Amino acid sequence: AQKVTQAQTEISVVEKEDVTLDCVYETRDTTYYLFWYKQPPSGELVFLIRRNSFDEQNEISGRYSWNFQKSTSSFNFTITASQVVDSAVYFCALRAGGTSYGKLTFGQGTILTVHP
């Protein structure tokens, strides 16, 4: 069975602060994929990043960076110099390889509020 845990239910920061959203996953599959999605107040889930289990290279995209560590089963997401527009619910998700047919297992989400 797959499981994703986002222990932080809500985070509140002031603009320009850095913030890290934690994600811990469980799976018995050796091949799997990890995702982060953003859900702004408008409600639509927006794909941010995919990471394959066989690629532990960290990734940076502008103010966003992701730290994937298989040893601790974590896939954390850092926003540098946060902005009010970053306020949203962020979901970490796991998709197993093999015959899982691609369905995503989501964490409970972290509500991020960035105050001006």
Decide if residue 7 touches another protein (CB under 8 A): no
DSSP letter at 101 equals: T
Decide if residue 24 touches another protein (CB under 8 A): no
- For another protein, the binding residue among 16, 63, 103, 115 (CB under 8 A) is 103
Neighbour-count burial for 30-59, b at 16+ CB within 10 Å, e otherwise: eebbbbbbbeeeeeeeeebbebebeeeeee
Nearer to another protein, 43 or 116 (CB): 43
Residue whose pair of structure tokens reads 């702004």 in the numeric block: 40
- For another protein, the binding residue among 8, 104, 111, 113 (CB under 8 A) is 104
Report the site for another protein in 41-70 (rule: CB under 8 A): 42-47, 50, 52
CB count in 10 Å sphere of residue 1: 7
Minimum distance of another protein from residue 101's CB (angstroms): 5
